[in-house]
Amino acid sequence: MIFGRTERGKPPVEPVTLKILVAGGFGVGKTTLVGAVSEIRPLRTEELLTEAGRPVDDTSGVEAKNTTTVAMDFGRITLREDLVLYLFGTPGQERFWFMWDELSEGALGAVVLADTRRLEDCFAAIDYFERRSIPFLVGVNRFDGAARYPDEDIRRALDLDEQVPLLTGDARDRESVKEVLISLVQHAMAQASQRRAVTT
Ligand SMILES: Nc1nc2c(ncn2[C@@H]2O[C@H](COP(=O)(O)OP(=O)(O)OP(=O)(O)O)[C@@H](O)[C@H]2O)c(=O)[nH]1
Ligand SMILES: [Mg+2]
């Protein structure tokens, strides 16, 4: 690098940075997703699930889980040299939802993670983004032992608008998560240009 130029003579690119939310119900894999793709050590705000929280913290299906997010997860991923995503994982438990308004400020879009064993847990997140016209997609996190359903059935159960993308993946797998994030960016961009076309 000489005088701000790369060896190939191209000026360095100032990346566009976008803010993405990762939402969904309790224990669906939000913290796992951010951790799987982040190129920086993710910031986590995990607290131990306690005996006192047992009546309200439903860990059925994720019995191995012993911590929960109380404020947010934060990570970063460079999708291309000119495109960086900042990932904000939201807390899944209802009692921490007051964080969502703060976290969704300035967000380009959201991934709503879903677990087919407890689809209803993501209704609140879907409602939240629909109401605020924040572009989102649904990412089904494939848990071992969870039954597989056709996309059509999942769409119907979630009452998803046909333009909302539905993808299936594994929150622990970097490539799988990258694919979901790229789809979200494309979807959000398409929605933004659609809106511009309507208003001009
Ligand atoms: N089999 C399997 N297990 C997963 C997957 N994703 C997450 N897990 C496990 O599921 C549990 C829940 O993961 P978390 O990432 O803490 O979930 P969360 O959505 O952040 O949870 P809260 O912040 O408490 O709402 C952990 O024990 C993970 O190891 C997955 O794709 N497959
Ligand atoms: Mg979490």
The mean pLDDT value for 61-78 works out to 90
List CB-based neighbours of ion ligand 2 within 5 Å: 30-31, 69
Q: Report yes or no: 101 and 129 within 8 Å, Cβ to Cβ.
A: no
The pLDDT, as a whole number, for residue 4 is 58
Q: Whose CA is nearest to atom 30 of ligand 1?
A: 143
Query: Which residues have CB under 8 Å from 113's CB, separation 6+?
Result: 22, 23, 24, 25, 28, 29, 30, 33, 122, 138, 139, 140, 141, 171
The pLDDT, as a whole number, for residue 149 is 95
CA 124/CA 130 separation, integer angstroms: 10
Q: What is the phi-psi region of residue 164: left when phi exceeds 0, alpha when psi lies from -120 to 50, beta otherwise?
A: beta
Using one digit for the tens of pLDDT, what is the confidence trace for 150-175? 999 999 999 999 999 999 999 999 99
Determine the residue of 60, 62, 63 to mutate for testing ligand 1's pocket, defined as the one with the most ligand atoms within 8 A of the Cβ atom: 62
The pLDDT, as a whole number, for residue 56 is 67
Q: Whose CA is nearest to atom 26 of ligand 1?
A: 65
The pLDDT, as a whole number, for residue 22 is 98
How would residue 59 be classed by pLDDT, with cut points 50, 70 and 90? confident
Q: Which bound ligand lies closest to the C-alpha atom of 112? A: 1
Q: Whose CA is nearest to atom 3 of ligand 1?
A: 143
Using one digit for the tens of pLDDT, what is the confidence trace for 75-128? 999 999 999 999 999 999 888 888 899 999 999 999 999 999 999 999 999 999
Q: Which bound ligand lies closest to the C-alpha atom of 57? A: 1
Kindly report the average pLDDT of the chain as a whole number. 91
